[in-house]
Amino acid sequence: MTSDLFETVGDIGPSRETMAEGAVLLRSFARPFEAELIPALRAIVKRAPFRHLITPGGHRMSVAMTNCGRVGWVSDPSGYRYDAVDPESGQPWPEMPPVLRQLAADAAAEAGFSNFAPEACLINRYVPGAKLSLHQDKDELDFAAPIVSVSLGLSAIFLFGGLKRNDPTRRYRLAHGDVAVWGGPSRLFYHGVAPLAEGEHGLLGRQRINLTFRRVLMA
């Protein structure tokens, strides 16, 4: 009886977990946006399809990526950068739809960062086996704004460390609709994603989609 009660309570609404100072996990926060969010993402991916970028070290990333917004994050053998033009199409990236802006701003506000107005949304696609090695998000010019990260589809294990690459990491399971926000003292914390486990998600199938919203330019 007790365990039933706990399961029910856990299922009915959003909850919050603190990962570090300035870093919070908002469980299920994106669920109310889902009906508008998923068609908006499908439209973006039609115009700017997922691609596997090559790192400056010459490795093909296992995660496939695309972007929307004024600028998009790209990597090629010459380095990492934000670019207003999609190098595949030669066209500007698709605009960031209002539903994405709203979700990002609301999640940031909920985490204590008001007036978050990101110019970039990096869209990552993981299939089983894909992973993202520990890294810092430091190609932006503005570290005053947080990173807002939205998880959709299959669950993944998110690794969240500290300011140094070899700081111990904690593992968090990110499920469909969960939003992680890190800023302030943890804005430059190392983070990554463990290899995605096999699975099938009811809405999105055999994949995980992650959106990271970034304020790239100086405010």
**Should residue 113 be labelled a site residue for ligand SIN when binding is judged by CB under 6 A?**
no
Give the alpha-carbon dihedral of 118, 120, 126, 131, to 10 degrees: -80
Query: Residue 124's binding partner, choosing from Fe ion, ligand SIN, none, with beta-carbon cut-off 5 to 8 A by kind?
Result: ligand SIN
CB of 98 to ligand SIN, least distance (A): 23
Residues 6+ apart with CB under 8 A from 18: 24, 25
Rounded distance, CA 50 to CA 44, Å? 10
Tell which residue, 134, 197, 129, 137, has the closest CA to residue 168.
Answer: 134
Q: Is 140 in the site for Fe ion (CB under 5 A)?
A: no
Number of residues near Fe ion (by CB under 5 A):
1
137 binds Fe ion (CB under 5 A): yes
67 binding ligand SIN? (CB under 6 A): no
Pair 62, 131: CB distance under 8 Å: yes
Q: With binding defined as CB under 6 A, does residue 207 bind ligand SIN?
A: no
Closest CB to ligand SIN: residue number: 210
Among the listed residues 152, 205, 210, 206, the one whose alpha carbon sits nearest the alpha carbon of residue 176: 152
Q: Which of residues 1 and 171 has its CB atom nearest to ligand SIN in the complex?
A: 171
Min CB(116)–ligand SIN separation in Å: 16
Does residue 94 sit in helix, strand or coil?
A: coil
Select 91 or 146, whichever has its Cβ closest to ligand SIN. Answer: 146
Radius of gyration over alpha carbons of the chain, in Å? 17
Cα separation, 142 vs 133, whole angstroms: 23
The verdict on 150 binding ligand SIN (CB under 6 A) reads no
186 binds, among Fe ion, ligand SIN, none (CB under 5 to 8 A by kind): none
Residues at the site binding ligand SIN, with contacts judged by CB under 6 A:
122, 124, 132, 149, 158, 191, 193, 210, 212
List of residues contacting Fe ion (CB under 5 A)? 137
